[in-house]
Amino acid sequence: MSLISDLFIIIGSQALLFFIGHWYCRHVLCGNEEIPNRHSEILFASTFSLCCILLLLVVFEIIDILAREFRLLVWKSALYLVTLLLVVFIPNNIAELAIRKLSFKNRKFANMVLWFTWLIIIYCFYKLLGPLPVTHGQTSLWSIESIVSRVGVIGVLMVATMAGFGAVNCLYTSLPCFIQRVPEDYAEKVERQIGKTFEMIAAKKLRTLDAADVSEPLGKKQSLFNLFGASTSSLVDNEVLEEIKSLEAFNERLFMEYVEINAINRQKAYAKTLRGKYFIFVGYVLSLLSSWKMVSSIINIVFDRYGTVDPVTRVITIAVHYMGFDFDVKFYSQNFSFVFVGLLSLCSVRTLLVNFAKLFSIFNPGRLSNISILLTTEVMGMYLLSSVLLVRMSIPAEYRWIITEVFGNLAYPFYHRWFDEIFILSVMASTAFFVIVHKKYNFKKCE
C-alpha cells in the first residue's frame, strides 16, 4: 500500500508539473500561437517537470515523504533523464532543426552533418570545462558526475548572472532615493511644450506648401536670369525641411519623456495607498536581503568561507546559544529548513519563468521558431539543475547525503565560490548599466 501511495504522489506531481510546463510554453512563451513542431513543447514540458521534481525531492527528503529506497530510485531516474535531455536529445534536436533550414538534398549527407555537429558540441562541452576543479579525483568521461559537473558550471553561471542583476534591480526599483524628483507641474509644462512644437511644425509645413504653390506657375516662366533665385529658394526649402525634421525628433523625445514622467507620478500616487505602502515595505526587506547577499558573497570570497553550516541551523544556533531561547534545535531546524528550501525552490522557478516571459515579450510570438523554444529549454534545464546543486548548502548536513549519493562526489564548495564570483561581477556590471541608463531630466527646457 505504501508503494502505491508513493507512486501516486510522484506520478501526480509529475503530471501536474508537466501540465504547468506545457501551459507556460504554449500560452506565455508562444502567446497562444501554434508551434509547427509539437515535439519542442513536449521537450520543454518534460525538462521543466523533471527538474522541478528534483527540487521537490529535496523538500520530500526534509519532511520524510516517500520511502527512502523509493526516493533514491526517483532521484536517480529523474537525474538520468534530465542529463539525457540536456546533453543528447535537446542539442541533437537543435542541430537537426538548424541543418533542416539549410535544405540539404542528400539525406545521408545531412545526417552526417548532424552527427558531426553534435560531436563538436559534446567535444567543446567537455574540453572547455575540463580544467575546472568540479570533481574530487578522476571520473570517467560518461559518468553522471562528469556530466552533471559540467552542466552545473554553465547553470550556476546563469543563476549567478540573473541573481546579480536582480539584486541591483531590486535596489534600483525599491528604494525611493533612486526615483527622479519631478516638480508637480512639470508634466503640464511638457504637455504645453509638445503642443507648441506641433504648432511650429504645422506652420512650417503650411508655409512650405504655400511656397510650392506660388513657385509652380512661376517655374513655367523661368528664364536664365532667375535660375540663381530658384537655386537659392531650393536651399531655403531644404533648410526648412531640416528644421521640421529636427522639431519632429525633439517632439518625439518630449513625448517619451511625458510618458515616463506620468509613470513616475502614478508610481508616487500608488505609493501613498495602503497597498503601495505594503509593497514599499516589502521592497525595503528585499533590498536588505540583496545588500546582505552582496556583502556575504564578498566575505565568502575573501575569507574562503565555504562548507560551513547551513543558514537555518546557523540562525537557530545563534538564537539558542547567544540570545537565550530554549527550544529543540533539531526539530525546528527540520521544519524551518523545509519552509526555507521550499520558498527558495519556488522563487528560483518563478524568477526563471518571469525572466523568460519578459525576454520573449520583446519578440513577436508569432515568429518564434522551434530552435528558440529548444534553446530556452536547454537554458532552463541547466538553471534548475544547478539550483539543486546550490540548494545543498542551504539544508542541514543530515539531509545532504542524498544529493551527494545521486550527483556524485562533486566539489560542491567550488560551485558556491563560482556563484559568488559571478554574482559579484554581475552586480558590478548591472550597477554600471543602471548608472548609464539612469535618466536625469532637464527641467528648464520647458520653461
pLDDT tens, position by position, 406-424: 887 777 778 888 888 888 8
* pLDDT at residue 149, rounded to an integer: 80
Output phi, psi for 135, to 5 deg: -135, 160
The region of weakest confidence among 155-159, 270-274, 393-397 is 393-397
As given in the structure block, the three cell numbers for residue 65 are: 515523504
Round to whole Å and give the CA distance between 279 and 273.
Answer: 10
* pLDDT at residue 227, rounded to an integer: 45
Q: What interhelical angle do 274-303 and 227-271 show, nearest 10?
A: 90
Which pLDDT band, with edges at 50, 70 and 90, does 228 fall under? Answer: very low
**pLDDT tens column, 278-322:** 877 877 777 777 777 778 778 878 877 665 555 555 665 666 566
As given in the structure block, the three cell numbers for residue 330 are: 533539531
As given in the structure block, the three cell numbers for residue 343 are: 520558498
**pLDDT tens column, 146-187:** 778 888 888 888 878 877 887 777 777 777 676 667 777 777
As given in the structure block, the three cell numbers for residue 132 are: 575546472
Round to whole Å and give the CA distance between 324 and 319.
Answer: 7
Give the distance from CA 172 to its chain's centroid.
17
Question: What is the CB-side half-sphere exposure of residue 437 using CA atoms within 13 A?
Answer: 8
* pLDDT at residue 368, rounded to an integer: 54
- C-alpha distances in angstroms, 317 versus 114, 331, 333? 56, 12, 9
Report the pLDDT averaged over residues 220-230: 48
> Which range among 7-16, 124-133, 150-159, 371-380 has the greatest average pLDDT?
7-16
As given in the structure block, the three cell numbers for residue 277 are: 505602502
Q: Which has more pLDDT, 228 or 436? A: 436
**DSSP for 204-261, written as a single string:** HHHHHHHHHHHHHHHHHT--STTHHHHHHHHHHHHHHHHHHHHHHHHHHHHHHHHHHH
Helices (H), 272-391: 274-303, 311-321, 329-362, 370-391
Mean confidence (pLDDT) of the chain: 73
CA nearest neighbour of 22 among 50, 39, 42: 42
Report the pLDDT averaged over residues 212-223: 52
Report the pLDDT averaged over residues 187-198: 79
CA nearest neighbour of 44 among 435, 381, 444, 344: 381
Q: Which pTM value belongs to this model?
A: 0.69
- C-alpha distances in angstroms, 91 versus 13, 50, 115? 27, 17, 11
Q: Which residues on adjacent β-strands are paired with residue 410?
A: 135
Round to whole Å and give the CA distance between 259 and 362.
Answer: 19
As given in the structure block, the three cell numbers for residue 221 are: 516662366
Report the pLDDT averaged over residues 43-72: 85
> For the chain, what is the radius of gyration of the CA atoms?
30
CB of 62 closer than 8 Å to CB of 402: no
* CA angle 163–58–353, rounded 5-degree value: 40
Residue with cell 540570545: 323
Measured from the Cβ of residue 114, the count of other Cβ atoms closer than 10 Å reads 17
CB of 395 closer than 8 Å to CB of 58: yes
Residue-range domain boundaries for the chain: 3-177+308-445
CB of 145 closer than 8 Å to CB of 410: yes
Type of residue found at 361 = S
Q: Is a pLDDT exceeding 70 seen at residue 198?
A: yes
* pLDDT at residue 303, rounded to an integer: 75
Type of residue found at 301 = I
DSSP state of 398: G
CA nearest neighbour of 143 among 156, 126, 155: 126
CB of 391 closer than 8 Å to CB of 55: yes
Round to whole Å and give the CA distance between 88 and 74.
Answer: 21
Share of the chain above pLDDT 90, in %: 1
| 410: helix, strand or coil | strand
CB of 165 closer than 8 Å to CB of 428: no
